[in-house]
Structure 1
């Protein structure tokens, strides 16, 4: 089996690539532009294995995408390449529209051209899995869960761009018959997570004795999914999911942001103690614009149709995550020193009056 993975040097993408190369034994081409969040160090564990190839290229480059299809001849595409940080989308929306919308269009057209030329058996076996987010659904109230039929109601430039890409993929399935599937996941966490996101930012700031910023009063709730559980789910969806269907992937681990930060602090108090509790570093800061109150995924369809279960709950997954960052300073130190030092992102400039 030959699988083209876009965004395979990113956080979730690299977990997918590692799973496919080591556990599945697939031949994998990682296609990644290597923006600030793409990191070849994420693939060190499998980088020299004979069933893995890497191509530095942009999904918006139609020639590069077409050449990858014609040269590698994939049986499947797992599309994870995306700009993904909400805060960065607030002040730099153009990159999100370019990559997430136009890049997905470019990839779909290349996939359609390639797929149309396959022999009947290969054409029937081909799959295009588009990996998206629960943020396309907007904000939940205190009750209820996102299902695959929840109407889209995106709040940020990031979620709007992902919603647009979801619609494109579904349309290419309906209009052209391209064999597509869509997944929408809850918040991922785990090893190799770029330090701008809540959990790794909290871990690294706490290690350095820096303030731990929490937006608003910390009451925003997310459903947390261990990234390796997500990787297994994605391959299962592509292998056994019904064509032209959407599958929600969630960990059934709802936690408020302040709960998450306090749990991380407690584990660090145990594993890397300071002269004071790490929770003393918690600092509440102005909320970000359009901050959705609550996300929660109903993964019943995935669990019942495909018999998927998360292997990690939040307690086991978050401990593994903290332990990984403590043991892998060689991975995160260059990122903190040269790429992102933990500064606040997504702040709107105040107009002069």
Structure 2
């Protein structure tokens, strides 16, 4: 079994690679992995067990048809994590998001069709649905993205679906809630707040902090992706979440407590443009597939703070 993992040096992709190489996924204990990653600011080879006998690392761009033609053939599956993913960056410059997330995904899909890859898992986000005041989205909800980032991911989802319908490529789409855990770039809320607090600095809380997000530990997300790879069906979409919904204000206070700071550390800033109020996923479909989150949110958040506290050398060099 050979698995081609795009964006495998990033936060979520590297967790998936580490877990597979550690033998955590039944039936894939001997799988060979090719990580294909451009190594932008969010990619880091320090996240990977470089030198592992079953790991091949290729620095490459998913928009590069020649590079894909050289490295993709012979793989049984593609797990596609590679994406520009930070909403705030997309608000000041949308073009790189459209280029990487839409055009890059299309180039990868085309290469997978040509290489006759058996299965293609496209990793997406709940943000493509927009915002929901009450209830939860199931997989049949319309796509109503509200940021350039989420619009680019919605576009990539549609490209993936088209490859299934047009070319018969076995594409499976996952849409996950917010992730947290070790090795996440410190531009994102939880690691940004943790590292600021550990430095004795303030944390920037958007608006009144009422925005609600559903949080899932990265290890659970990757386990669900593997479940979709092995047990999912072609052309299907699977929401992945935890059912744990927390306001930004609540998570800020939890992190302040865990980092030994106090409420004076909060710095209220102007709200983000087009800031979605609430995300919530209906998990019935992935649950029927056999998924149950294993990491308790309180325990996972505590261990995440501990990891950043113990690995300052990893994040102190990260772009702020």
> Fold match, TM over 0.5?
yes
**Can you list the C-alpha shifts for 1:248-303, whole angstroms capped at 9, x where unaligned?**
0001110000101100111112xxxxxxx432210110001000000011111101
- Give me the whole-angstrom Cα distance separating, in 1, the residues matched to 2:182 and 2:263: 22
Please show how residues 1-353 of structure 1 align to structure 2 within 5 Å.
1-22=1-22, 23-24=24-25, 25=29, 26-43=31-48, 46-70=49-73, 73-115=74-116, 126-141=118-133, 143-269=134-260, 277-304=261-288, 306-335=289-318, 339-340=319-320
Instruction: Return the structure number with greater helix share.
Output: 1
CA–CA distance in 1 between the matches of 2:296 and 2:276? Answer: 23
Distance, in Å, in 1 between the alignment partners of 2:302 and 2:263 is: 16
Counterpart Cα distance in 2 of 1:324 and 1:290: 32
Structure 1 length-normalised TM: 0.88
| CA distance in structure 2 between the partners assigned to 1:12 and 1:255 by the alignment | 21
Could you list the runs of 5+ residues in structure 2 that have no partner in the other structure?
Answer: none
Contact 1:253 1:313 in 2 (8 A): no
Q: Which moved more, 1:105-114 or 1:46-55?
A: 46-55
Q: Is the 8 A contact 1:173 1:180 kept in 2?
A: yes
Say if 1:148 and 1:246, in contact at 8 Å, map to a contact too: yes
> 1:313 Cα shift?
2.3
Query: What is the CA distance between 1:223 and its match in structure 2?
Result: 0.1
Q: Is the 8 A contact 1:224 1:250 kept in 2?
A: yes
Could you say which residue in structure 2 is the equivalent of 1:272?
Answer: none
Report the Cα offset of residue 209 of structure 1.
1.4
Displacement, 1:193? 0.6
Describe the superposition over 1:20-61 as per-residue Cα deviations: whole angstroms up to 9, x where unpaired: 111232210000000000111111xx2221011100000001
- Aligned to 2:165, the other structure's residue is in SS state helix
Query: Aligned residues, how many?
Result: 315
Where 1:67 maps in the other structure, the secondary structure is helix
Cα offset for 1:149?
Answer: 0.8
- Following the alignment from structure 2 to structure 1, what is the Cα–Cα distance between the partners of residues 242 and 44? 26
Report the Cα distance in structure 1 between the residues aligned to 2:279 and 2:160, rounded to whole angstroms.
Answer: 23
Who is 1:345 aligned against? none
Deviations 1:280-338 (A, max 9, x none): 2101100010000000111111011x211100121111011001111111211111xxx
TM-score (norm 2): 0.97
Report the Cα distance in structure 2 between the residues aligned to 1:152 and 1:279, rounded to whole angstroms.
37
SS of alignment partner, residue 178 of structure 1: coil
**Residues 213-264 of structure 1, C-alpha deviation per residue, up to 9 Å, x if partnerless?**
0000000000001001001110110111011100000011100001011001
Q: CA RMSD in A?
A: 0.9
Instruction: Return structure 1 stretches of 4+ with deviation > 3 angstroms.
Output: none
**Is the radius of gyration larger for structure 1 or structure 2?**
1
**C-alpha distance in structure 1 between counterparts of 2:137 and 2:296, whole Å:** 19
2-side partners of 1:297 and 1:284: how far apart? 28
